[in-house]
Chains A and B, each alone.
Chain A
Amino acid sequence: MIYQGKQKIWSDYQKEIPDDHWFYVRSCIRQSFFPASETHFVKIVRDLLGKDLYETPHHTTCGGIAYHSDTIPQETAMTIVARQFALMTEAGYKNLVTSCITSFGNYCEILETWREFPELEARIREHLWKACRREFEKPEYVAHASDVIFKLRGEIAERAKYHLVSRATGEPLRVVEHIGCHYSKMFPHKGVGGAEYPCVLSGMVESWGGQVIDYPERRHCCGFGFRQYLVKANRGYSVSNTHKKFESMEPYHPDMIITNCPGCPYFLDRWQYVIAEQTGKTYGQNGCGIPALTYEELAGLVLGYDPWDLGLQIHQVGPEPLLDKIGIPYDPNRKYLGLNEKEIMKPGLPTVLKCC
């Protein structure tokens, strides 16, 4: 591996990311899968680092999941997106930041489509006006929330309470980064580092002390693939994709996986349980899995937030070996306590995958 070669490509794909004044749109499925991630994005960016980050309860789904699942036409998704732009315009913002990778891809694709076909943009404006009497300005910048954390990675590193190094050996943790397909595979110049060797996550990992693993199936889909999972009969494709990735990364003995997509951490996490049940094989040490975290969760750990407040108990793969390796303290008795110390119920344990 020639690291300087990657640096050269990264220099070709520098993305302008404004410092401040963001209109934040949440993800419909991340709020179900890993709700604490978005909460902590807001806590880190707005409360800790003092940036202007605005969100509105009137925001809805962007229609991206339905569009990519072939259940709505693109014009419908465009009209939904036009309404989000109208909300941003009404709030007085010009920088859009999305929580979801598919939303990011959806917004970018729609803006590019309008650039190519302005008559379509005019028609969507008409649809929006007829539907809800709203008008909009297009955003000046569209970024994914991981772009913002990438931009702020240095400030986070300055405030870091923990680094991605082994407490016992001082060695950097070995981290697999997995980029959502809709981040830069459609428009390489809209992602930090391009499509083939994105550095949006690897930049965070390196800034916080870790070592990034490049393995043969790095670019391969996490297994979600929309219809691979959403059509129940196809789910064998989904798990086989994930299995392929784990077989490929196994020789590198990764300590963790970091992702920037709603589906990726879910499938890279949950399918480890399914693979273990089907094949008896696990990929972490001592029968455990490899923790698959969101970038907000990782930033939160680095900054010293409580692992259970970050929602790590929601993951299928137990995070405890990772926390122990870094030296992050946690109270096992609080793992399944929710807000206000309320019991959120303890799940049943898998038969093969060791979870704590």
Chain B
Amino acid sequence: MVNRQPIIAVIGAGIAGLEAASQLAALGYKPVLIEKAPVVGGHVAEWNRLFPDMTPAEDVLQPLLAGTAKVRTLLNTEISAINRLKDEYNLILSDGSSLLCQAVLFATGFHLFDASKKEEYGYGIYDRVITNRDLEQWFNSRQDARIDKPRAVGFVHCVGSRDLKAGNPQCSKVCCITAIKQAIEMKEEFPDAEIYCFYMDLRLFGKKYEDFYIRAQRDYGIHFIRGRISEVGEAIDNRVVVKAEDTLSGKPVKVTLDLLVLMAGIVCNPDAQQYAREIGVAVDEDGFLKSRNNLAAITDSSRPGVFFAGACTGAKTVPETLAEARSAALAIHNYFNSRG
């Protein structure tokens, strides 16, 4: 007989939390979504279209919202503390209440790397230097004085990814394909603009990614320059002057751009690290939460009753995140079944 009474705290109402909560509710459990933001949807809710089919982000979110319509959802709610009891967890919430639950699912997602830490790129210093998130918000709102009919746009891959000096050695996985997506979108928006992508190497592992990359070159004429940018300065007309090395031709490159987009990498949500420490869940060397087994049990933590879904264990694409959320729901179901 399956115990359908347990309460499961799902921390984070991004797409991982929403999908997992939806699946758990369908299985008869009582998930509680806890979200510190005023709305659900996480990063995807801020995005406009998704690679590689240019799917509107809204199309991904709507089924998830429908699936969680009856799930208890606490918005604007932070977790002040988590206490580990014998077989349960007690969450102290920012409104002063507490939530006693029998399982905890971390769906805490990721943070974008703070691009201003790469000082040489001038984010937060030069007006025309923006991030991938800023550009995506412009795709949504069309309101950003910095983007005014640009004739030359650059994209910098791996900003705060694969960068030991920035304290973030891992690959953020989705930035290469996101840069290509955004480069194509900018070319569609501004056909006369020259678009440059500065990359270390391109990691296009997913379904249709390579096709997307070839289209960017063949159909959109986007220039791919293999080399890292050494410095960014500002010209007298507020345009940005970019210096880089083209390592394929072995020559330095200097180009003046109307807009420079930094592809900020993915780092673990620091809140997740804090919660993990409070209940004795391990954090891996890369700063993300540590799975019990990276091959066979990616959604399991080392602690009974604590599970993971999505980017809290590392950079993930949307389909990977959704698949992992379903997997986590099943793992939780099996956990309660095994306890009788």
A196-B119, A197-B119 as given contacts; A5 in contact with B233, CB under 8 Å: no
A1-B126, A2-B127, A6-B125 as given contacts; A215 in contact with B233, CB under 8 Å: yes
Instruction: List A323-354 residues whose CB lies under 8 Å from chain B.
Output: none
Whether the pair A9, B233 counts as a contact (CB closer than 8 A) is no
B81: A residues at CB distance < 8 A: none
B231 at the interface (CB under 8 A from A): yes
CA distance A196 to B234 in the complex (A): 13
Whether the pair B236, A252 counts as a contact (CB closer than 8 A) is yes
Instruction: List B123-145 residues whose CB lies under 8 Å from chain A.
Output: 124-127
CA distance A6 to B238 in the complex (A): 16
Q: Which of B120, B124, B231, B234 contacts A8 (CB 8 A)?
A: B124
Instruction: List B216-243 residues whose CB lies under 8 Å from chain A.
Output: 231, 233-236, 238, 241
A216-B234, A218-B233, A219-B231 as given contacts; A8 in contact with B127, CB under 8 Å: no
A252: B residues at CB distance < 8 A: 236
- How far in angstroms is the closest Cβ of chain A from B244? 14
A9-B119, A194-B119 as given contacts; A219 in contact with B125, CB under 8 Å: no
B235: A residues at CB distance < 8 A: 216
B168 at the interface (CB under 8 A from A): no
- How far in angstroms is the closest Cβ of chain A from B165? 11
| Contact pattern, A 221-244, Cβ under 8 Å of B = 1, otherwise 0 | 000000000000000000000000
CA distance A9 to B122 in the complex (A): 10
B120: A residues at CB distance < 8 A: 196
- How far in angstroms is the closest Cβ of chain A from B71? 40
A219: B residues at CB distance < 8 A: 231, 233
Whether the pair A1, B233 counts as a contact (CB closer than 8 A) is no
A109 at the interface (CB under 8 A from B): no
Q: Which of A5, A195, A214, A218 contacts B116 (CB 8 A)?
A: A5
A194-B119, A197-B119, A216-B241 as given contacts; A2 in contact with B234, CB under 8 Å: no
Whether the pair A1, B124 counts as a contact (CB closer than 8 A) is no
Closest B-chain residue to A8, C-beta based?
Answer: B124
A217 at the interface (CB under 8 A from B): yes
A5-B116, A8-B116, A9-B119 as given contacts; A214 in contact with B127, CB under 8 Å: no
- How far in angstroms is the closest Cβ of chain A from B316? 31
Whether the pair A1, B234 counts as a contact (CB closer than 8 A) is yes
The A-B contact count (CB < 8 A) is: 40
Interface size range on B against A: 10 to 19
Instruction: List B226-285 residues whose CB lies under 8 Å from chain A.
Output: 231, 233-236, 238, 241
CA distance A219 to B77 in the complex (A): 46
| Contact pattern, A 187-226, Cβ under 8 Å of B = 1, otherwise 0 | 0000000111100000000000000001111110000000
A170 at the interface (CB under 8 A from B): no
A57 at the interface (CB under 8 A from B): no
Interface centre among A2, A216, A252 (most CB of B within 10 A): A216
A2: B residues at CB distance < 8 A: 124-127
A50 at the interface (CB under 8 A from B): no
A215: B residues at CB distance < 8 A: 233, 236
B127: A residues at CB distance < 8 A: 1-2
Closest B-chain residue to A251, C-beta based?
Answer: B236
Instruction: List A259-285 residues whose CB lies under 8 Å from chain B.
Output: none
- How far in angstroms is the closest Cβ of chain A from B29? 46
B241: A residues at CB distance < 8 A: 216
CA distance A217 to B233 in the complex (A): 7
CA distance A195 to B233 in the complex (A): 14
Instruction: List A1-20 residues whose CB lies under 8 Å from chain B.
Output: 1-2, 5-6, 8-9
Whether the pair A5, B125 counts as a contact (CB closer than 8 A) is yes
B234: A residues at CB distance < 8 A: 1, 214, 216
Closest B-chain residue to A218, C-beta based?
Answer: B233
CA distance A216 to B231 in the complex (A): 10
A214: B residues at CB distance < 8 A: 233-234
CA distance A328 to B127 in the complex (A): 37
CA distance A217 to B124 in the complex (A): 19
| Contact pattern, A 139-159, Cβ under 8 Å of B = 1, otherwise 0 | 000000000000000000000
Closest B-chain residue to A4, C-beta based?
Answer: B124
- How far in angstroms is the closest Cβ of chain A from B330? 46
B233: A residues at CB distance < 8 A: 214-219
B236: A residues at CB distance < 8 A: 215, 251-252
Closest A-chain residue to B119, C-beta based?
Answer: A196
- How far in angstroms is the closest Cβ of chain A from B126? 7
A218: B residues at CB distance < 8 A: 233
A194: B residues at CB distance < 8 A: 119
- How far in angstroms is the closest Cβ of chain A from B152? 15
- How far in angstroms is the closest Cβ of chain B from A191? 13
- How far in angstroms is the closest Cβ of chain A from B218? 33
CA distance A216 to B126 in the complex (A): 11
- What are 30 inter-chain pairs, A to B, with CB distance below 8 A? A1-B125, A1-B126, A1-B127, A1-B234, A1-B238, A2-B126, A2-B127, A5-B116, A6-B125, A8-B116, A9-B116, A9-B119, A194-B119, A195-B119, A196-B119, A196-B231, A197-B119, A197-B125, A214-B233, A214-B234, A215-B233, A216-B233, A216-B235, A216-B241, A217-B233, A218-B233, A219-B231, A219-B233, A251-B236, A252-B236
Given A2-B125, A216-B235, A219-B233, 4 more A-B residue pairs with CB atoms under 8 Å apart are A1-B125, A2-B127, A195-B119, A251-B236
